[in-house]
Amino acid sequence: MHRALPVGNKVCAARARKRYEEQRAQRLRDMKGMVDNTPPQVMGLRHLKTNWKRAEMLGQRYDTIERDNRHLLNHMSSIGARRDYAATRSQSLPLLRDPPGGPSRQREADRINQANALILRRLQNTHAEYRTRDWEEQYRQSQEYIRIKCEYPPPLLPKVRTPSRTGLTRLPPSGDAGACAHALTGAVAEGHRVASAGSGLPASLSGGVAPGTPTSCFSAHGGSHSARPVRSESYDEDERAGVYIDAEEEEEGE
């Protein structure tokens, strides 16, 4: 795998590379052709536009074909006018002969059909020798290796969107105790860190948290620890709401 060239600042390097590409594209647009592709002036001459010799040869060939066709038509008409070659009407049915082979050909056809049916049954009962699931798993693993090895995102691999770990989830207002308790219980069940912004957390949440919750969960009453909130774009709104949830796990030892 060919890694990218080391640069001091990737942003400046990308900007310089983009400028070089724009300059190259501008030079290509301003380039003028050195080969004269215009048609020559002699193409306007009349004797070069019309080939009189070829037209004369085609006319002679068409005349010869028409004369031969007329001669053949007259000959066929004279033959059809003769009495010996006139079509006679027969009152009897034509004699239909049996096809060659008879019963032996039918037996051979039946044998071939039975053999084909047996082969079809074998093919239907055959299991696949190759496991495509293993191939797909190896392909996904190779994609992960490529993403780890490459310095820049590979252009041929699908983009994978990872959830943000620094976002804050806002709880309902402090007035709705039932909804706030439900949101807090779900956050604790998922192992997220829950912090309070003061006395905005209702006292009814003390009974809504299941036993065995991690020490990273803090309430607004009686908590011996304090969680430092992580600011985000909606920090002011969350502060007015009174309660917010930090999606990032609290590291051990803090």
Both tokens of residue 160?
A: 């994978």
**What are the pLDDT digits (tens) for 16-48?**
999 999 999 999 999 988 888 888 888 888 888
Give the helix/strand (H/E) hosting 176.
none
Question: Could you tell me whether strands 243-246 and 193-196 are parallel, antiparallel, or unpaired per DSSP bridges?
Answer: antiparallel
In order of 16, 83, 103, the CA distances from 12 in angstroms are 6, 103, 88
pLDDT on residue 207: 44
| Sign of the torsion formed by the C-alpha atoms of 107, 109, 115 and 117 | negative
Both tokens of residue 51?
A: 């080939």
* pLDDT tens, the chain, 254 aa long: 456 677 888 899 999 999 999 999 999 999 988 888 888 888 888 888 888 899 999 999 999 999 999 999 999 998 888 776 656 666 777 666 776 777 888 889 999 999 999 999 999 998 888 888 999 999 999 888 888 877 777 776 666 666 665 555 555 555 555 555 555 565 555 555 544 444 444 444 444 444 444 444 444 444 444 444 444 444 444 444 444 444 444 444 45
In order of 9, 22, 75, 156, the CA distances from 147 in angstroms are 21, 29, 84, 11
- Cα-Cα end-to-end distance for the chain: 41
- Whether pTM exceeds 0.85: no
Contact of 200 with 209, CB cutoff 8 Å: no
